[in-house]
Every structure is written in structure tokens, then in C-alpha cells.
Structure 1
């Protein structure tokens, strides 16, 4: 009887470990499931789903910290890691799932279009699409979600860029302008899941999706085209207090390993911007219109005194003065 009890305990332990593993690493299918229309009334509106796109194995240690940070936000219902590197071994992915505050979904290929697929695991109306090198604190995440809820037809983000028309070359270009913007990046983008369905399932955008495949770039620009076309509004940029948002992938980082900060597309500098300008022109060509719309200013989470006062011989924000 003692031997049987020990054997039964071993079997139960093995079964339990398999169950925990399978709940975190969702089995890969050769193709995504077919698109289907979901009743929006069945989706939660009080929280959002975070979808992190992962590719570089150099960033696996970083992903644990990032997933934990998003999971700690009260506005987050679930965190999903899309693993988009087909060459990563199952053993490496199994190690990744250990103590990870996220479900792991391995995509059928490395296509950037999968970032915007309406996966069945997403049960909320709001979806936060983000990179695997961006870590936002819970208060910044919750504030961004609050802004999105005030106008859920818009795309919301911390990082903004712009399209512009270059008169000299008579072409659309990709730019970064101080006074206006028309694109929010997928470094951090909150949007309605209906736009994921539109992007991935509407044949109107089929040729544009193929451009994303060919360029291996610009899925975020195409999504901004989709949102602007459907909402007839520009995006909203969110302002963050100092320290609330960490970008590990920025090439200007000190103290971050090259393997972590040099794997992103944005690290390619001028050539990267040139290619994204080509994407804008191609999307304009195949869609036959330019739906992108400019926005101005950004949303901030408090309104304080902006005037400067002198204190101990230095100019500081007047809010920092003690007027007692």
C-alpha cells in the first residue's frame, strides 16, 4: 500500500506540473484561427489585456520584470506574451514560462501582422499592445487606460510620430515634429479590439498587410491608418512623470547590454526612418487616400503650477516652494 501511495503521488505531481505548464504556454498552431465576429457586449470594459511582442532571447530576463510590472496595474486583466521568433527552442520557451506573470502564445511565424491579431485569449475591449523593452509603472498604465476610456475610438500612446508631405520631393515622409503628431507607436499603444479585427480580418487592408510582410516593418503605421479611417480622429499622446516609463531598447541607454538595446527596428536610425516613409507612401497608394489626422498637445495626470520661483538662489517650480 505504501508503494502504491508513493506511485500515485508521483503521478499526481507529474499531471499537475503539466497542467501548470500548459496553462502558461499555449500550444502553437500552424495558422491563426479564422477571423470571427465577436459580440462586443461579451467583452470586459473595466480592464484591459496587455499583449507584449517578444522576439529576442537576449530580452528574456527583462520580460519577467516587464510582465510583472504590467500585471501589478489594477487596470490590467491579463498579460499575454506573443513569442514571434520561430527559431526559439521549446526548451527555451519552457524556461521563459517559469515564474512569468503572463500566458505565452507562440505565433505561427515572425510576421509583424500577428501583433494585431484578435486572439481568442483576449477577453477585453481595450488592448494594450507594447514592445518587450518598455516598462511602465502601474500608475502610468492606469492613467493611460483612464484616458482611453474617455474616448475609446482613439488610439492612445506614450510615443508619437508624424507623417508629413515633403514639398520638394512631392512625397509623404515619416517625421517627428514637436508641435503635432499623427501616429502612436506600438512601443505602447492602447486601442479598441475592434481595430484588431478590422486590421486582421478586413480584406480592404489585405494588400497593405502584404506590404508589412514585405517590408518587415510598419505594422504600427498601418494600424494608425486603420484607426484614423474608422474613427476620423487623430491619436492621443500621454504625458508621463519622470521615472514612470523605462525604454530599455533606446540606443542612448547606458548600463544596458548591447543585446538588449540593439535588437529593435528603431535602432536602425536614418535607414529605418526612410523605410517607414516608404511604407506611408505605399499605404497611401494601395488605399487611395491619406486618412492620418494630426493631433496637438498631450494628456497629463495632474495640473500643477508651471511658473518658476526663486528658492535659495535657484529657479524652481513654484509648487516646490513652501509659502507658509
Structure 2
């Protein structure tokens, strides 16, 4: 039997396999790849530059559109007033009280503990002036709760007449007013969040208690014009609102002067007669008419330590009457409806 020697050949001249020749050939391949990469490098660099330029352009476009969107939504910061005020980082608590001294002391002490409160003003609308004991109790309760020695309580005596709830106050140092009833407690964390929202939209009302109005279509068909006032259940059912009640709401201090000094005399006389039923609706109309923007409802839990307000139960018909009487003083309906609800994203699991 004869054996056959098989040689492994390649494409070289002599035909025999050589490790040295193979290594040299591989070096040649690497060299050609490096040259190819160097030729393509400018093209790759140009592509990277184009992508970076595109990303930068998109970022600028997003910033521009966000600024336009905020203007469209009516969230137009009043930067002149915010920058000019030395107390732009704080607010004044304006407490409306009526023959409820016990809730008043508790409420004043609570708001004195909130870091953003600059001062507390109590609107005293009773005929009899507050007693010295009440003043002392208020000061003591506030000092115990507040960590700042300069927090103060001022009682504004209005003699029980007129619409004194929104009377301008010379001593107010802040642009922001937080109007609240003496039996309503808003947690400080929710209050600070609502204040941050108001600073983005200082020309409108920002509050925790939404209400709505709508035109009665049945009466409209018969030739009459009548608007209905809707409480919380109406807001929940319809998914929209056109007012936030001043029982727990922020607004700019200039609206105190507008409400008291710029309002027509017949309207002021009407509010003086129907003060307890109509003042909060009237303030919503004043702000909406002046700003041309809807209010903003901030989601937050509030605690009512007194009785329910007039917008519930048997006071509903009175609120309907008040709404229509106030609207009769305007040429058009100033209230604007919206379905925007502001939530704190840090506390919401589901957006």
C-alpha cells in the first residue's frame, strides 16, 4: 500500500502553507481596515455633529413651546410684582371670623406654624369689638405654635357693617393673600404647594374649594335667563369648575382694593345686604373679570372644624339667587370654566 502526502496550500506562489506568510497577510488586512476607518472618520464626525445640532434645536423648540403653552393656559407670571416685593416668598393669612372664638384660636395657631406665613390678619365683623382676653389668647396660641418671634396677629374691626371681609389692609407686606374661614384648616404642606402654584399665576385665584355655574337651558328655551350654582357634587359630576371659594384660596392683594374701592355703588350696597351669602362669589367674579382667566383648583385635603357653609344644603337656593343678582351687574358673564386640577406629582402614585 502506498501512502500519499497531502500538502495544505494557499494562494502564494510556492503553494505551501506558511505561518509567517499568514501572519504577514493578517497584518495587511489590519492595515487596510485602519485606512478604511481613517477615510470614514470625517463622515462619522459629521453625523455626530448633525445629531447634536438636531438635539439642541429640539430642546430650544421645547422651551419655546412650553413658554407659549403657559401663556395660553393663562399662567402668566406677574414678574414685576413678584420681583419688586421683598416679601415675595411669603403670604398673609386673612381669616374671616363670625362669632366663633374657639375655632379662631385653633386656626390662627395652625397657620402661624406654616413657614410661608408672614402675618395673620383677622377680619372681625361683629358689632361688639373683640375682648382683651380674646386678643391675649390669640397671641398666646400663636406664640406657642410659631417658631418665629415676629409672627403677629392683627384684628381688623369693621363694626359688623358693609362688606368688610375684603377691605384693603395697609399693613399687608406681601403680594399674596391667603383668604380662609375661621373653621377651615389646610395642612401646611398643602398650603405651601398651593402658594407655589399661585406664584406661577398671581393674577388668578388659586384655591382648594371649587364650585361651578351653568346656564339653565330649560328656562332659556322659554325665554328666561337663569344660571345655576353648583356645589362639590356638581363639580365632581361635570368635571369642571368656574370658581374657587375664598374660604380657602390665594389671590393678589390688589384685588382687595379693586373689590372695595372700584366696585360700583349699587353692587357694594347689594353685597352689604347679602354679605354672608355672596361675598365669595363676588370675589371670584372680580378676579375673573379683571384677569380674564379661570381659577386654578389645587387638590388638597382640608379640615372643617365648624359647621358646613352656605353653599351646601338649604343655602343652595340663596346661592342661586346671589349668583344671578351679581351677574346682572355685568354686561357679560365674567366667570370662565376650566377642567384643570393641580396635583402634587411627588405625592401622587397615578397621574
TM-score normalized by structure 1? 0.71
Query: Structure 2 unaligned runs (5+)?
Result: 1-79, 143-151, 220-224
**Among 81, 90, 98, the residue aligned to 1:55:** 98
Which structure shows the higher strand fraction?
1
| 2:327 paired with 1:280 | no
Q: Deviation of residue 98 (structure 1)?
A: 4.5
Q: Please give the alpha-carbon distance, in whole angstroms, between the structure 1 residues aligned to 2:199 and 2:247.
A: 20
Kindly state the Cα deviation for residue 279 of structure 1 after the two structures are TM-superposed.
1.6
Partner of 2:60: none
Name the residue aligned to 1:211: 270
Contact 2:184 2:303 in 1 (8 A): yes
CA distance in 1, matches of 2:130, 2:165: 21
In structure 1, list runs of 5 or more residues that go unmatched: 1-38, 252-263, 308-324
2: distance between equivalents of 1:220 and 1:112?
A: 14
Whether 1:297 and 2:335 are equivalent positions in the alignment is no
Partner residue, 2:226: 171
CA contact (8 A) 1:50 1:129 kept: yes
1:245 maps to which residue? 302
Q: Which structure: larger Rg?
A: 2
Q: Hey, what does 2:178 align to over in structure 1?
A: 128
Is the Cα contact below 8 Å between 1:50 and 1:78 reproduced in 2?
yes
| Worse overlay, 167-176 or 44-53 | 167-176
2:110 is matched with which residue? 69
Structure 1: distance between partners of 2:197 and 2:132? 40
Provide the rounded CA distance (Å) in 2 between the counterparts of 1:199 and 1:109: 19
For residues 63-142 of structure 1, the aligned pairs below 5 Å read 63-87=104-128, 90-101=131-142, 102-111=152-161, 113-142=163-192
Tell which deviates more after alignment, 107-116 or 190-199.
Answer: 107-116
Q: Deviations along 1:291-324, whole A, 9 cap, x unmatched?
A: 10012131111254339xxxxxxxxxxxxxxxxx
Q: Give the drift of 1:189.
A: 1.1
Structure 1 residue 64 displacement after superposition: 2.3
Picking from 179, 192, 197, the partner of 2:257 is: 197
What SS is found at the alignment partner of 1:124? coil
| 1-structure distance, mates of 2:109, 2:246 | 19
Mapped partners of 1:223, 1:152: distance in 2: 15
Q: What is the CA distance between 1:90 and its match in structure 2?
A: 3.0
1:190 CA displacement: 0.4
Provide the rounded CA distance (Å) in 2 between the counterparts of 1:274 and 1:200: 26
Q: Which residue of 1 aligns with 2:197?
A: 147
In 2, are the aligned partners of 1:181 and 1:294 still within 8 Å (CA)?
Answer: yes
Once the 2 structures are TM-superposed, how far is the Cα of residue 92 of structure 1 from its aligned partner?
4.9
Contact persistence 1:97–1:104 (CA under 8 A): no
Q: CA deviation at 1:48?
A: 0.5
Cα distance in 2 for partners of 1:239, 1:288 equals 32
8 Å CA contact 1:68, 1:100 repeated in 2? yes
Q: TM-score, normalized by length of structure 2?
A: 0.66
Structure 1 outlier segments of 4+, above 6 Å: none
CA-to-partner distance for each residue in 1:140-164, whole Å, 9 max, x for gaps?
1100100100111110110011111
Deviations 1:49-104 (A, max 9, x none): 00101111xx3222222112211112111111122111355345445445142423
Q: Is the 8 A contact 2:193 2:344 kept in 1?
A: yes
> Would you say the 8 A contact 2:91–2:174 is kept in 1?
yes
Query: Is 2:125–2:159's contact at 8 Å kept on the other side of the alignment?
Result: yes
* Structure 1 SS opposite 2:119: strand
- The alignment partner of 1:99 has SS state of helix
